[in-house]
Structure 1
Amino acid sequence: MNSPSPRHNRLTRLALWFVRLALAASFLSAVADRFGLWGAVGTGEVAWGSFPPFVDYTRLLLWFLPEPLVLPFAWTATILEILLAIGLVIGFQLRYIAFASSLLLLTFALAMTFGTGPEGPLSFSVWTASAAALLLATHPQLQQN
C-alpha cells in the first residue's frame, strides 16, 4: 500500500485543525449566545440572548430531572463547553478533549431528540458535530501534545 503524499498529509493536518477550530467556535458561540454577546432574542440568529432562557431550554431538554438539578446542569454544560473549546484550540490532551467533546455533543443530540424531537439536532448538525469530534479523537495523525 502506498504511503500518503506530502500534499495529502498537509491537507489532513489542515482538516484536523479545521475540525478543532469549528468545534471550538461552535461551543464558544453557544456560550456567547446564552450570555447575550450575540444580542437579544429575536436579533439575527440569537437563540437565548441571556442565561435564564437557556436554563428554560435546559429544563425542556432535561424534563426528567428534578427542578433543583436544572440550573447546575445548565452551568455544567456551559463550563464544559468553555473548557472543551479551550482544549481544542490549544491542543492539550487533544484525544481526550475530542472524545469528551463527542460525548457532550452526543448527550446534547440525545437530549434534544427526546426533549423536542429529531428536527432540532439534525438541523443544527449536533449529530454531525459529535461524529466529527469522534473522528478527530480517533484519527491516527492527531498529534497529542
Structure 2
Amino acid sequence: MKIIYYKLFLRASIAFSFLSAVADRLGLWPEEISAWGNWANFLVYTKLLNPWFPDSFINPIGIVVTFIEVLLAIFLIIGFKTSLFARLSGYILLLFGLAMTFTIGIKAPFDYSVFTASAAGFGLSLIKQKYLEIDVLFNDNR
C-alpha cells in the first residue's frame, strides 16, 4: 500500500478523534457512550487535569482547548500545512497525556492511547508526500 494512504488514514484518525472528543463535551454523543456528556462534566475533568489553575481559569482553558482541537481537526482534514498541524497535534496530545500522568496516573493515558495518538501526530508530520491536501493548490513548484 502506498504511503499516501497511510498518511490519509493518520490525518483522518487524528482529526476525527479530536472532533469526537469535542462532540462529547458538547453533548452530541448519546449519554450512555459519552466520557463527559456535557460541558459541565468536561470542565470538572479539565479542573482535575489542571489543579494549579484557579477555578476562574478553567472555563477559558476548556474553550481554548476546544477551539484548538477543532482547528487542528479541520486543518488535518483539508490538508492545510499538514506537517505543521500534525506536529502541533502531537504536542497537544503529549501535553494532555503528561497532564493525565501527573494528576491521575499513567494508566489512563495508556488506556486511552493518548501517547500513541501523540506519536501518530509526530509521525504524520514526517510524511512529505501529498495526497488530497489543499496545500497542493498553493504549491508553486519553484
> Please, what TM-score do these two structures have when normalized by structure 1?
0.87
After superposition, residues 1-145 of structure 1 pair within 5 angstroms as 11-40=2-31, 43-44=32-33, 46-142=34-130, 145=135
Structure 2: 5+ residue stretches without partners: 136-142
Q: Distance in 2 between matches of 1:24 and 1:13?
A: 16
Aligned CA RMSD, in angstroms, stands at: 1.3
Count residues in correspondence: 133
Deviations 1:27-85 (A, max 9, x none): 00000000111122xx03x1111000000000000011122111111111111110000
Task: Provide the residue aligned with 1:4 in structure 2.
Answer: none
Structure 1: 5+ residue stretches without partners: 1-7
Identity %: 42
Q: Which amino acid aligns with 1:17?
A: L
Q: Which amino acid aligns with 1:110?
A: L
Q: Distance in 1 between matches of 2:97 and 2:68?
A: 16
* Contact 1:33 1:50 (8 Å CA) reproduced: yes
Q: Which amino acid aligns with 1:30?
A: A
Q: Which amino acid aligns with 1:33?
A: D
Give the C-alpha shift of residue 141 in structure 1.
Answer: 2.8
Task: Provide the residue aligned with 1:5 in structure 2.
Answer: none
Q: Which amino acid aligns with 1:114?
A: F
Q: Which amino acid aligns with 1:12?
A: I
Q: Which amino acid aligns with 1:135?
A: G
Q: Distance in 1 between matches of 2:91 and 2:63?
A: 17
